[in-house]
Structure 1
Amino acid sequence: MKLAQIFETLVGRDLAVRITAYDGSSAGPEDAEFGLNLKTPRGTTYLVTAPGDLGLARAYVAGDLELIGAHPGDPYGALQALAGDLKFGKPSPVELARIARSIGKEHFKLIPPPPQESLPRWRRFAEGLRHSKERDAEVIHYHYDVSNRFYELVLGESMTYTCAVYPTPEATLEEAQENKYRLVFDKLNLQPGDRLLDMGCGWGGMVRYAARRGVHALGVTLSREQAEWAQQAIREQGLSEFAEVRYSDYRDVAESDFDAISSIGLTEHIGVANYPKYFTFMRDKVKAGGLILTHSITRPDNRTRSKAGPFIDRYVFPDGELTGSGTIISRMQDVPRLEVLHEENFRHHYAMTLRDWNQNLVENWDEAVAEVGEGTARLWGLYMAGCRIGFERNIVELHHVLATKLQLDSTTTLPLRPWWEP
């Protein structure tokens, strides 16, 4: 039994994509726009020893599996087509035995994964308990200290690695990122002379936006490379009087009495079990009457398991956890004196953001490969295109949740209705 026929047996014979393999076999329509080519025996071993998205990712990142008809910087179209075909059935025991004999027992022996893969969860205890300061620092280093130059090539001038907010469908990525910072700034009702804490500040985009408007902004990040890049940008833009970015865990911030706190893309890394401490920390750091905004990837319900799947956990966000916006809101409401004011879903905007990041990677492909290697560049193209599909299909969402710290008598001086422009 040939490899392409094995694949056909597992997913059904009504294929929309073309399947080819190194043993000369093929399946699916010859004129298909997209295809999957298994190039090496090592690729077979990856697929057999880690069925599902992890095995596919290993083979693809290692170069053993090729998506025909798609640029590796943006395999979105091919992934969409494959998603329609990858509906694995349940072969009978007789069929499974026949498949196993055809593949050969040598392919069922584990082999080392590609070097881009993080350790499995159970082996990360060497870096400390999950969401300890030590382990959080390690996993943030894994994902964010790839290369500042690589991020410049993918993210563009804004150096912003979070969902943009598009004012119009035709807006550019830079316009949409600037609009995102404008929206966060306005929702936090910031005024010249106010003090802002930006937790998980990345390359300091929110910090610099606020500083240009006369707000004293402190950002903290667990990525040393991000902090160094951000501090240099602050100096070059003449913002040192108002802006600072520290290489620090947010839990080590000693200052308090901030007028507002923003957390843009950090909540996903906190761990759901740690939400009470996380939101209590925010409450304790902000003034009475101050505002808190979380901008985070969420699930469309509050029942799904919070831990990420094997591909995301090993290759993208180790230890990342997602939950529904309802869980975030309820945990904030459980903290005394925190009152949730508003929530908003931006999932379509994240799909558009990922589209534009993929396009940047395509346009800068050769330099990106020279900077980080082809395997890492392929990984990023795969991850961003796959996430785009996830946002389009409502597998994941992106929510803003805005809250305030009430006065001791529960009064507030905020306007009666939302005071910001959409």
Structure 2
Amino acid sequence: MDDDAQPLLLADIFDVLLAEPSPVRFTAYDGSATGPADAAITIALNTPRAAAYMATAPGSLGMARAYVTGDVQVTGVHPGNPYALLAAMDQLKWRRPDVRTALRIARSLGMKRLVPPPPPPQEALPDWRRALEGLRHSKHRDAEAIHHHYDVSNAFYELLLGDSMTYTCACYPHEDATLEEAQDNKYDLVARKLGLKPGMRLLDVGCGWGGMVRHAAKHYGVKALGVTLSAEQAEWAQQEIKRQGLEDLAEVRFSDYRDVVEGDFDAVSSIGLTEHIGVGNYPSYFEFIGSKLRPGARLLNHSITRPDNIHQPRVKGGFIDRYIFPDGELTGAGGLIVALQNSGLEMRHEESLREHYARTCYAWCENLVANWDAAVAEVGEATAKIWGLYLAGSSLGFDKRQIELHQVLAVKPDERGRSGMPLRPDWGV
């Protein structure tokens, strides 16, 4: 009998698709296995649905679906921090099968495995279905995207983020700094870059749970307004403002930043917002921010970026788009600065905090591991696993410079071009 006519077992298919030996052990429900018997990590395909997920959505999406549903089980790593799994998978070298091999794989899997199973309920709608709900980055669709990601559960975020309730890149002042120290240091760095002083007015767009708002009010005597599209964030933040006795200076509002009517702010902070607004909307975004600043006022924009500025279409249908940031979109720091400058703002300082974000995401994973049982009780095992996968993958992505984090400081010059900036940076490190 022709070898090509014989069906392949799942482990055989795995071997056929690999260009080099796997560092992980792979086992399957059909009794087949491959990879080192003493490997630290084992990936087990436990059900035919696992094979169907991976065959019909090759790459991160199919694997995530099978992992989230429990059809794939992994031993050797904690689900709250599967960094070692993702780092090992990142070492795999895949090869594209020729037509003859691809047909043999399809015959081996059978027609049932080539029909996509229903995705897990935690998955966002595909892009074409979202389009029926409105234009991408319209106010309604942005609100839905934010709801999908941020309105998970404030109690869950408390377990994940720690006391600061800060879901943006920290800035570690030294190697041994804790996450809480690093988050406080980040807020203070932003405050110093903005030149905050008592009596100033700050607008924080995309303010999350109000960490920057509270820091500016408490430590700098600034009257701070934060806006967020998450109702749960706004409610939590207002309660914390009241608990700390900051009502006279701090406010967090459930609102789209485009609906802020106040103006003549002395400073604007945007920490983790531009990832959500769409690259095509950068010009109108920076124009809006500029309209809210008085002459001589500063903007600090803190956001994730790509490592290059080559125009690329938005990645649709992957794990991040379907489970984490529906409609999320990135460009390079250069593209962001170009849009900022074209709006009339003057770029004064830029720095990368890429390594800091790798460390931040890893610290969140460790929080998830430490609070795993409580997190699962709060949001369910599937959602907790999604977050472990996402944050570990993000930590690896920042480590490998697949993504970056940049802070850009800008100023709105007056009609004569005067910035009011010091001759040299005065905000320290």
Flag whether TM exceeds 0.5 (same fold). Answer: yes
CA distance in 2, matches of 1:297, 1:129: 23
Q: Is 1:126 paired with 2:129?
A: no
CA distance in 2, matches of 1:318, 1:306: 15
Asked if 2 retains the 8 angstrom alpha-carbon contact of 1:73 and 1:382, the reply is: yes
- Structure 2 counterpart SS, 1:307: coil
Q: Residue type matched to 1:94 in 2? A: R
Give the aligned partner of residue 181 of structure 1. 187
Give the aligned partner of residue 61 of structure 1. 68
Q: Is 1:388 paired with 2:420?
A: no
Asked if 2 retains the 8 angstrom alpha-carbon contact of 1:204 and 1:245, the reply is: yes
CA distance in 2, matches of 1:72, 1:348: 23
Unaligned stretches of 5+ residues in structure 2 = 1-7
Q: Residue type matched to 1:332 in 2? A: L
CA distance in 1, matches of 2:426, 2:16: 58
- Deviations along 1:351-409, one digit per CA (max 9) or x if unpaired, are 00011000000000000000000000000000000111100000000000110000101
Q: Is 1:343 paired with 2:350?
A: yes
Q: Which of the numbers 100, 103, 106 marks the counterpart of 1:97?
A: 103
How much is the aligned-residue C-alpha RMSD, in angstroms? 0.9
Structure 2 vs 1, CA of residues 306 and 345 (structure 1 numbering), >3 Å: closer, same or farther?
A: farther
- Deviations along 1:294-314, one digit per CA (max 9) or x if unpaired, are 100000100152524511110
Structure 2 vs 1, CA of residues 306 and 407 (structure 1 numbering), >3 Å: closer, same or farther?
A: farther
- Deviations along 1:74-129, one digit per CA (max 9) or x if unpaired, are 000111111101x2202122211111111111011122100110011111123311
Q: Is 1:117 paired with 2:117?
A: no
Give the aligned partner of residue 11 of structure 1. 18
Unaligned stretches of 5+ residues in structure 1 = none
- Deviations along 1:231-256, one digit per CA (max 9) or x if unpaired, are 00000000000000000000000000
Asked if 2 retains the 8 angstrom alpha-carbon contact of 1:68 and 1:78, the reply is: no
CA distance in 1, matches of 2:168, 2:283: 24
Q: Is 1:371 paired with 2:396?
A: no
Identity of aligned residues (%): 60
Q: Which of the numbers 238, 251, 254 marks the counterpart of 1:244?
A: 251
Give the aligned partner of residue 71 of structure 1. 78
Give the aligned partner of residue 398 of structure 1. 405
Give the aligned partner of residue 162 of structure 2. 156
- Deviations along 1:179-220, one digit per CA (max 9) or x if unpaired, are 000000000000000000000000000000001021000000
Give the aligned partner of residue 47 of structure 1. 54
How far apart are residue 12 of structure 1 and its match?
3.1
- Structure 1 counterpart SS, 2:132: helix
- Deviations along 1:146-187, one digit per CA (max 9) or x if unpaired, are 000000000000000000000011100000000000000000
Q: Which of the numbers 232, 241, 245 marks the counterpart of 1:234?
A: 241
CA distance in 2, matches of 1:72, 1:257: 47
Q: Residue type matched to 1:278 in 2? A: Y
Query: Where does 1:162-241 land on structure 2 (aligned, <5 Å)?
Result: 162-212=168-218, 213-241=220-248
CA distance in 2, matches of 1:74, 1:62: 17
Give the aligned partner of residue 138 of structure 1. 144
How far apart are residue 13 of structure 1 and its match?
4.9
CA distance in 1, matches of 2:352, 2:169: 11
Q: Is 1:270 paired with 2:250?
A: no
CA distance in 2, matches of 1:124, 1:332: 29
Give the aligned partner of residue 323 of structure 1. 331
Q: Deviating runs (4+, > 6 A) in structure 1?
A: none
Give the aligned partner of residue 284 of structure 1. 291
How far apart are residue 16 of structure 1 and its match?
1.1
Q: Residue type matched to 2:306 in 1? A: R
Report the number of matched residues.
Answer: 420
Q: Residue type matched to 2:330 in 1? A: L
Q: Given the two structures, how large is their TM-score scaled by the length of structure 2?
A: 0.97
CA distance in 2, matches of 1:98, 1:121: 32
Give the aligned partner of residue 4 of structure 2. none
